[in-house]
Every structure is written in C-alpha cells, then in structure tokens.
C-alpha cells in the first residue's frame, strides 16, 4: 500500500521531470507541452495546429527521447497510401528459396507517431489512421496486429496552406483527444530557440521515464475520484454543445452547428484525472474540466454562421458554453 | 481522519444554533414590539398573556425554521468551503468518498485536510453572526419605539343626547297641577315640591345629555323625598314610644305605622279592648285596680317618652299622643266607674281622631312623594336601578317582641347602619335593591347599599352637564344619610 502511495505521490515528480527535459529542446508553449503529456498519460491522441517551424516535430521527437519510446514520423502527402502507414504484405524468399508472404510493418508501428501535415493526405489514407488511433490495432488482410502500448499519435496540420488539403472527417477528428494550438513564440522565446539551435539541431533531452511508467501513471490516474457533481457538470457541458437539444444553453443554439460526441465526455473526464494528478491534486475539480474543455471540444464542435458573423472563435463559443453551463448549477 | 473538517462541522453546528436562537429572539422581540405598537396605536386591549404567548410561539417556530434553513449538511458545508476558499472541490471529494479506503482517496483526504489546515476558516464573531446581529438590531428598533410610544387615547363616545320635549313639559305641568290640587297635607311642603318641579323643568330645558337629564330628575326625586321626610314625624315618635317596655306602648307605635301603610301588626284597638267597661265591674275591684294601674302606667310612660322628643313637642302627633296620656290620667282619677269608662272611651276616641288626622296628613304627603317619584320615573324613563335608596322607603326599627318589649338595640331589625344615629336607626337591616353592588345588582342591606350609591353618585357629580343646584341637592341628601341628621 505504501508503495502505491509513493507512486501516486511521485506522479507529479515524474511529470515535472518530463517537462524539465522537454524544456531543453522545446521553448515556450508550456501549455501545449502540459496538454501533450496529459494526452499521452491519458492514452489519447493529439492534433497539433500551428504554423511551420514552431517546434511541432521537435516536440514529438524530444518526447520520444524523454519517454524512451520508439518514435516514427509520417509525412502526409496527397500520394501517400494507407499501406505506407500501416505496412504491407510482401513476398519474400526464405533461405530455402521458398516464397512466403511476410508482413512488413509500416511507420505506425511505433509508440510515438508524428503524423505530419495529416490533412495533406487523401481521405482514404487518413481513414487508415482511424482503427489505429482508436483501437491501437492494424488490420492487414486477414491479420490483426496489435500495437505496443503506450501508443500515441501526434498529428499536425498547417492552418495556412489550405490548397491541396483534405479536411479531416469528423470521425477522425473525434479520435483526437485534444486539438492543441501552437502559438508563434514570443521574441525572447524566439531568441532562445535560435540560440539553442546554433549549438546543435539534435534533441538533447534525456530519458526520464519509460513506457511502463507511462502505463502505470495511466492506471493511477484512472483511480482519481470524481464527485458526482463534477461528473454531472461535465456531461451537461458536452450535452450543451448540441444545438438540437432543447435543454441546451443559449450559446449552443445561437453559435453551434453541431456538437461534440460522447467521446468528448470520456476524454474530458480521463484527461481531467491526469491533469489533477499533474497539478498535485488527488481529485478532479471544475477548473480541470473547464481548462480541458478547450482542447477537448474545439475540434469536436463546429460553429455556425452566427459565430463567424460575430467574429467568435470556437474557443470563444466554448467559453460561453462553460459560462452558461456553470450558471445552470 | 477528517479532524479539521469535523471541527469545522462542529463549529458550524454551534454557530447555527446560536444564530437560530438570536434570530428567534429577535423575531420574538420584533413580533412583541410590532403587536405592542399596533395595539397601542389602534388602542386595542389585548391580554399580555396572549401577547407573550404569540411572541414566544413565533420565536420558537422561527428558531426551528432558522435552524433547518441555516444548518448545512456535511456535503453542503464542504461545497461552501470549496467555493469560498477555491479549494478545487477537495473538501467535497473528501466528504463524498469518506468511506472509500483506496490509496488515492487516502491521499486525497490527507491533501484536503492539509489544505483546510492552511486556510483560516474561523471568521470574526461579528462576521459569523452578522445576520443575527442585524436581526437583533432590527428587533430593538421595533421594540424601543413600541415601549416608548404612549398608548393612544381612546375618544370617548359622545354622550347620548337629551332634549326636553313638549310631551315632557306637558307631563310635568300635569304633575304640578296634580300636586297643587292636593290640599290634605302640609302647604309649605306642597309648595316646595311644586317649586322643585318647576325648577326641574327649567333645568331640563338647558340639559342636552341623557346623563344630565337623569341626574337632574334624580336630584329632584331626592329633593322631594327629603321634603316629605322633613314633615314626617311618625318614625321618630314610633321609635320613642317603642323603647318602652310597656306592651301597650308598642301597640301604639305599631298603630301609628299601620296608619302610614306599613304592616307591623297591632292596633290601638287592642288597648281599647283591654279597657272595655265589662272589665271595670265593681265586683272585680282587683281587676279594676290592675287595669287602672296599667292605664296610669301607660299614660305616665307615654308622657315621659314623648317628653324626650323635644323637637317635636309642638308637633301634632306628639301633642295628640300627649293629650291621650293626659286624658287617660284624668279618666283614672274619676271614681265613678261608668264615668271613668266613658272618659277612657273618649280618650281613645280623641287619640284616634287627632293622631289619625295627623297621620293621614303625613300619609298624603307620602302619597304625593310616591306619585311624584313614580311619574317622573315613567315620564323620563329613569331606570329603577339609578334611583338611590329614599328616605321615605326606610322603616323605623321597632321591637317585634309582643311581651316584654325591649330596647332598640334588641330589636329584630338590628341597630346598625342606615338613617339616624344611636338607637334611632331606620331600616338599616332591611333589604333593598342595589344596582351598584360590586357583585352585580342584587338585594342587600340598606347600610351596604348606601356606600355603593354614594360612590356612584359621587362619580356622576363630576359630570359638567349636571346643574350645580342638582349637585348640591344630592350632596346634601347623602350628607344627611351619612351623619344621620334628620333636620338641617
């Protein structure tokens, strides 16, 4: 029992170590780093949106080093085929000269996968990610291959270059636990980035935890208590994103085209538990839910013309939904 | 575990009880003050016991309601702590999962307790009991003016009006004419009665309230009663001769009263029977001798007793009886039996005539008095209960003993209270109607009724609508009743 308690207590210490190591390679965007760590521990995938050069790839590579996990990168292009991701059966001659069909694993067979510019691939290729991201399995022909845990996909998309892109379908968007926005660094941060890369372009972060530790942390996070009031609040928040519900708040009716799926509620609770531990708490608070509502909901709800007309971003609408749902208490 | 929270819970419970009590007391005082103020301003009489009962009841109900409204459950208390100190739902989680023994919850509780220790949950008394203190201040604000504000003065209802109508005047004139037409009693008294009635008419013309009318009429009734009583001597004479031990003397006294209409039994006829000629047979000298002695004794005593009534020595009744005594004495000196009998008969005949005439005159005066009183009572609808005990209604106190007789003190009617002084008491133990008795209207002894009447009349005398003259008559009347003076 004491060992377990020690593990719980060391959770935030481990996270702090991870963050400290990541800080050596990634400058700024601390919130994004926190959210990525939360998503990894919670077992979710992250869609990272940001202009080129803000350190998206570096973040994942560095994360792979810190977590001592195999890392692979897939650059999504319009001609990328699903088999380029999942792998394919090839005919191989064995030592006896006999021809055999052998499955050659694709880059998806890693613990950390960077799906760079995911929206540049065709929907067919994008959909190859669905099963992997949700079930952590790959089906090729009649064979099903299970991926090693922890498995984490970090996809990036460029918000600027829209030509020749294929917007992600809602079903795939829903597979991402978080959609994070990487901001352009501040001047001082930019200075640090430049200074850092003058020495070496390689990541310098050291491994502080391993995959097993991540799985242990995930198991611990699952035991974090959530009081019924917060559970109810979370469910209401998600339900309130649906404008077709008459009971939904006014902001939903006014600004939302369609709302979040039940996966959003699952993601919110799961992520909130990890966030609580990350913050050194042993219970989920309203603040955890509210903070995580933005990365969890922003890619799951679609705002309507009214929001655009009033220059309201999705985050602004989420803020209104939170406010009105809180008022319902 | 949860020691810090348990402490907070206990403090909350104590605070809630104290707050509830303070608010209950405040409400009780507020209700008390509000009721007091309302009743004072609206001049409503309300039993202090009910007043107190309602206030205490309101306070008790308020106390219970306050307790249930203010008392928070453990979860509600945890919620308020989390919200007030932004504790990130730590306390709520601790309370919600208090029975969970997992490691995570153990740490959570520990973390929540640590957090609770780090914050100062105990507030200053003024802040903790702010609402109760405000209630208390409000109740004081209500109670103070309620106590200070004087009770409103109830406006007395206007006195019932009275106006002297033509019917009244006609009835009064008829009465005056009737009295003037009576010539069989003392002229001065008759004129005085008529003058009083005329005065009453004048007074009533300027009287505009019913009470004033009552007082004026009652004053006149009392005046007429006193005027008639002034010329009435039979009571005094009766008492004087009743004091004799002589049986015949008592018979004379009763005879006088009988003539006045009072039933006391006995008649002069009894005496006369004792002195019939048959009993004066010479052969029965002893009897004659005895009877002669009796007659002699009667005449002597009659003279002696009447001699004490110095104020009445020239009065017809006294003179008549004195003459009777003298004639008896004279008859007894006659040696001739027949002549003696004749003289005795004549003495009886004379006394019957002279005394009878006088008593008839007095009776007529009494009749006039009764007539005046009854007609005034009817014409002005005077309630019988308002008419005080009248002198004319009081009886002399006579011995009822048929044999030896006795002193006034031994008489059956008693010897205290009433009209007169010493042994000369009139009707002190007779029952009369007393409407002003403390126990309600009832028949009481004359003496007891006097005090009640006097108190009532004294209060009425303060009424400005009663004329000074009428007031003086009433005062004089009761002064006479109280000091027993028969004559001014």
> DSSP label at B199?
H
What's the gap in Å between the CA of A326 and the closest CA on chain B? Answer: 13
Q: Report d(CA B160, CA B208) in Å as an integer.
A: 9
Write the residue in A4, A223, A227 that is nearest to B89 by C-beta. A227
Mean of all residue pLDDT scores within chain A:
85
Q: Which residues in chain B have Cβ-Cβ distances shorter than 8 Å to A223?
A: 102-104
Question: Under CATH, which number does the domain A2-79+110-217 receive?
Answer: 3.40.50.300
Helix (H, G, I), strand (E, B) or coil at B129: coil
Which residue is listed with tokens 């007891």? B448
Q: Cα(B193)–Cα(B186) distance, rounded to whole angstroms? A: 11
C-alpha to C-alpha distance for B135 and B29, rounded to whole angstroms: 10
Which of A1, A223, A227 is facing B96, going by the closest CB pair? A227
DSSP 8-state secondary structure symbol assigned to residue A155: E
For B165, phi and psi rounded to 5 degrees?
A: -90, 175
* Angle (deg, nearest 10), helices A30-42 and A262-278: 110
Which residue in chain B is spatially nearest to A229 when comparing CA positions? B92
Each domain of chain B, given as residue ranges in start order, spans 3-148, 229-483
Cβ proximity of A185 and A29 under 8 Å: yes
Decide: A261 and A298 in contact? Cβ < 8 Å.
Answer: no
Cβ contacts (< 8 Å) between B96 and chain A: which residues? 225, 227-228
List pLDDT tens digits, range A80-136: 888 888 888 888 888 888 888 888 888 888 888 888 888 888 888 888 887 788 888
- DSSP letters for A173-241: HHHEEEEEEEPPPPHHHHHHHHHHHHH-SS--PPP---HHHHHHHHHHHHT----HHHHHHHHHHHHTT
Touching B: A residues 193-232, CB under 8 Å: 220, 223-225, 227-230
Distance CA B393, CA B405 (A): 25
Q: In Å, what is the CA distance from B370 to each residue of B193, B378, B455, B486?
A: 12, 12, 25, 20
Chain A residues touching residue B88 (CB < 8 angstroms)? 281, 283, 285-287
Cβ B104–A8 below 8 Å, yes or no?
yes
Specify whether the CB–CB gap between B379 and B348 falls below 8 A: no
When mean pLDDT is compared over A71-80, A126-135, A157-166, the highest value belongs to A71-80
Chain B residues with beta carbon closer than 8 angstroms to that of A4: 103
What is the Cα–Cα distance from A282 to B93, expressed in whole angstroms? 9
The length of chain B is 488
Give pLDDT, residue B265: 61
Q: Which residues of A touch B93 (CB under 8 A)?
A: 225, 227, 282-284
Contacts 24+ apart (CB under 8 A), A286-289: A286/A230, A286/A233, A286/A326, A286/B88, A286/B89, A287/B88, A289/A230, A289/A233, A289/A234, A289/A237
Residue B135 burial (10 A CB sphere; 0-12, 13-18, 19+): buried
Q: Under an 8 A CB cutoff, do B105 and A282 touch?
A: yes
**Number of residues written out for chain A:** 329
Q: Tell me the CA distances in angstroms from B365 to A13, B369, B484, one per residue in order.
A: 131, 6, 22
- Per domain, the residue ranges of chain A are 2-79+110-217, 224-327
Distance from the Cα of A295 to chain B's closest Cα (Å) equals: 20
Contact residues, chain B, for A285 at CB < 8 Å: 88-90
**Average pLDDT, consecutive stretches of 10 residues, N- to C-terminus, chain B (488 residues):** 76 87 87 84 78 86 87 85 85 85 83 82 75 84 82 77 88 89 79 89 88 87 84 77 76 74 66 60 59 75 75 74 82 77 81 76 81 87 81 69 39 36 42 56 62 68 70 70 46
Round to whole Å and give the CA distance between A140 and A137.
10
> What pairing do the DSSP bridges indicate for beta strands A112-116 and A152-157?
parallel
Q: What is the C-alpha to C-alpha distance for residues B243 and B247, in angstroms, rounded to an integer? A: 10
> Parallel, antiparallel, or unpaired: how do β-strands A137-140 and A143-146 relate?
antiparallel
Across the interface, whether the CB atoms of B111 and A282 are under 8 A apart is answered yes
Task: Give the minimum alpha-carbon distance from B110 to chain A in angstroms, rounded to a whole number.
Answer: 10
Q: What phi, psi does A48 have (nearest 5°)?
A: -105, 125
Measured CA to CA, the distance from residue A46 to residue A53 in angstroms comes to 18
CB–CB contact A229 B107 (8 Å): no
Torsion of CA A101, A103, A104, A110, to 10 degrees: -170
Residue B161 burial (CB count, 10 A): 10
Question: A2-36: per-residue pLDDT in tens?
Answer: 667 777 777 878 888 888 888 878 877 788 888 98
Residue in chain B closest to A228 (alpha carbons) equals: B96
Euclidean distance between CA atoms A221 and A217, whole angstroms: 6
- Cα distance between residue B229 and residue B488, in whole Å: 12
Interface test with A, best of B88, B105, B110 (most A CBs within 10 A): B88
| Residue B1, SS3 per DSSP | coil
Residue listed under structure tokens 């301003």: B41
Residue A38's nearest CA partner among A274, A223, A219, A286 is: A274
CA distance B118 to chain A (A): 15
Report how far residue A39's alpha carbon sits from residue A32's, in angstroms, rounded to the nearest whole number. Answer: 10
The HSE-up count of residue A180 (CA atoms within 13 Å, CB side) is 29
Give A-chain residues touching B100 at CB under 8 angstroms: 225
State both tokens at B47.
């039993």
Count of CB atoms within 10 A of residue B406's CB?
17
Query: Which of A1, A223, A230 lies nearest to residue B89, judging by beta carbons?
Result: A230
Amino acid B472: pLDDT: 74
Size of interface A-B (CB pairs under 8 A): 54
Chain A residues touching B108 at Cβ < 8 A:
225, 282-283
Query: Which secondary-structure segment (H or E) carries B27?
Result: helix B3-41
Q: Most B CBs within 10 Å: which of A283, A286, A287, A329, as the mutation test of the B interface? A: A283
CB atoms within 10 A of CB B288: 16
pLDDT over 50 at A208, yes or no = yes
Query: Going by DSSP bridges, is the β-strand pair A176-182/A45-50 parallel, antiparallel, or unpaired?
Result: parallel
**pLDDT category, A294, cuts 50, 70, 90?**
very high
Assembly ipTM: 0.79
Instruction: Enumerate residues 40 to 99 of chain A having a beta carbon within 8 A of any beta carbon in chain B.
Output: none
Verify whether the Cβ–Cβ distance B105 to A225 is below 8 Å.
yes
Percent of chain A at pLDDT exceeding 70: 97
What distance in Å separates residue A8's CA from the closest CA in chain B? 7
**Chain centre distance of CA B208:** 26
Q: Least CA distance to B100: which residue of chain A? A: A225
Lowest mean pLDDT among A205-219, A255-269, B282-296, B314-328: B282-296
User: Are B89 and A228 a contacting pair at CB < 8 A?
Assistant: no
CB-CB under 8 Å, B89 with A283 = yes
Q: The CATH number of A224-327 is which of 1.10.8.80, 3.30.1360.200, 3.40.50.10490, 3.20.20.70?
A: 1.10.8.80
Of A228, A282, A287, the CB nearest to B104: A282
């Amino acid at each position: 029992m004491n060992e377990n308690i020690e593990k719980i207590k060391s959770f935030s210490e481990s996270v702090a170590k991870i963050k400290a190591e990541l800080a050596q390679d990634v400058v700024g965007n601390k919130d994004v780093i926190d959210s990525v760590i939360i998503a990894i521990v919670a077992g979710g995938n992250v869609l990272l949106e940001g202009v080129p050069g803000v350190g998206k790839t570096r973040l994942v590579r560095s994360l792979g080093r810190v977590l001592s996990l195999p890392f692979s990168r897939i650059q999504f292009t319009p001609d990328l085929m699903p088999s380029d991701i999942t792998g394919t059966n090839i005919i191989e001659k064995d030592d006896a000269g006999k021809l055999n069909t052998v499955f050659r694993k694709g880059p998806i067979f890693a613990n950390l996968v960077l799906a760079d510019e995911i929206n540049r691939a065709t929907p067919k290729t994008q959909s190859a990610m669905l099963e992997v991201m949700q079930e952590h399995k790959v089906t090729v022909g009649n064979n099903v291959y299970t991926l090693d845990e922890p498995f984490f996909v970090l996809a990036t998309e460029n918000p600027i270059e829209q030509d020749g892109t294929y917007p992600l379908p809602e079903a795939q968007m829903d597979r991402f636990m978080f959609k994070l926005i990487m901001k352009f660094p501040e001047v001082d941060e930019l200075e640090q980035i430049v200074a850092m890369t003058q020495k070496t372009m390689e990541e310098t972060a050291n491994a502080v935890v391993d995959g097993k530790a991540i799985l242990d942390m995930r198991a611990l996070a699952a035991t974090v208590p959530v009081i019924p009031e917060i559970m109810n609040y979370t469910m209401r928040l998600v339900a309130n994103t649906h404008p077709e519900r008459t009971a939904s708040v006014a902001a939903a009716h006014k600004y939302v085209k369609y709302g979040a799926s039940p996966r959003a509620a699952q993601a919110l609770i799961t992520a909130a538990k990890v966030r609580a531990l990350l913050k050194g708490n042993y219970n989920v608070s309203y603040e955890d839910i509210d903070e995580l509502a933005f990365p969890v909901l922003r890619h799951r709800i679609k705002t309507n013309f009214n929001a655009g007309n009033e220059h309201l971003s999705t985050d602004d609408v989420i803020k209104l939904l939170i406010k009105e749902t809180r008022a319902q208490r | 575990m949860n020691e810090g929270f348990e402490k907070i819970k206990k403090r909350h419970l104590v605070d809630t009880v104290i707050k509830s009590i303070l608010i209950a007391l405040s409400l009780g005082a507020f209700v008390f003050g509000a009721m007091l103020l309302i009743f004072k301003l609206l001049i409503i009489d309300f039993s202090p016991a009910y007043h107190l009962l309602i206030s205490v009841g309101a306070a008790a109900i308020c106390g219970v309601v306050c307790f249930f409204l203010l008392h928070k459950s453990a979860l509600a208390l945890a919620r308020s702590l989390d919200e007030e100190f932004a504790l990130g739902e730590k306390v709520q989680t601790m309370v919600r999962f208090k029975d969970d023994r997992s490691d995570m919850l153990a740490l959570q509780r520990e973390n929540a307790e640590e957090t609770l220790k780090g914050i100062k949950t105990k507030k200053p008394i003024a802040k903790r009991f702010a609402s109760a203190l405000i209630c208390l201040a409000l109740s004081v604000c209500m109670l103070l003016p309620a106590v200070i504000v004087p009770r409103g003065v109830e406006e007395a209802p206007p006195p019932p009006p009275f106006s002297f109508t033509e019917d009244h005047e006609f009835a009064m004139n008829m009465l005056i004419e009737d009295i003037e037409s009576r010539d069989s009693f003392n002229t001065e008294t008759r004129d005085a009665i008529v003058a009083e009635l005329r005065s009453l008419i004048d007074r009533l013309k300027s009287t505009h309230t019913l009470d004033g009318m009552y007082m004026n009429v009652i004053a006149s009734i009392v005046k007429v009663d006193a005027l008639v009583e002034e010329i009435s001597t039979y009571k005094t004479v009766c008492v004087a001769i009743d004091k004799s031990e002589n049986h015949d003397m008592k018979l004379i006294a009763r005879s006088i009263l009988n003539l006045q209409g009072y039933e006391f039994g006995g008649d002069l006829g009894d005496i006369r029977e004792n002195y019939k000629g048959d009993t004066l047979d010479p052969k029965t000298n002893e009897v004659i001798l005895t009877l002669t002695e009796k007659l002699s004794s009667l005449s002597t005593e009659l003279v002696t007793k009447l001699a004490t009534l110095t104020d009445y020595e020239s009065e017809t009744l006294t003179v008549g009886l004195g003459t009777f005594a003298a004639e008896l004495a004279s008859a007894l000196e006659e040696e001739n039996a027949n002549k003696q009998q004749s003289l005795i008969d004549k003495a009886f005949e004379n006394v019957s005539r002279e005394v009878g005439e006088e008593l008839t005159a007095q009776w007529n005066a009494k009749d006039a008095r009764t007539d005046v009183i009854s007609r005034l009572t009817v014409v002005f609808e005077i309630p019988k209960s308002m008419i005080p005990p009248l002198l004319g209604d009081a009886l002399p106190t006579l011995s009822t003993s048929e044999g030896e007789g006795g002193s006034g003190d031994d008489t059956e009617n008693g010897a205290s209270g009433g009209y007169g002084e010493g042994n000369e008491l009139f009707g002190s133990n007779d029952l009369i109607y007393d409407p002003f008795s403390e126990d309600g209207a009832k028949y009481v002894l004359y003496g007891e009724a006097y005090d009640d009447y006097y108190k009532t009349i004294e209060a009425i005398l303060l009424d400005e609508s009663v004329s000074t003259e009428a007031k003086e008559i009433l005062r004089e009347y009761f002064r006479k009743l109280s000091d027993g003076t028969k004559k001014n």
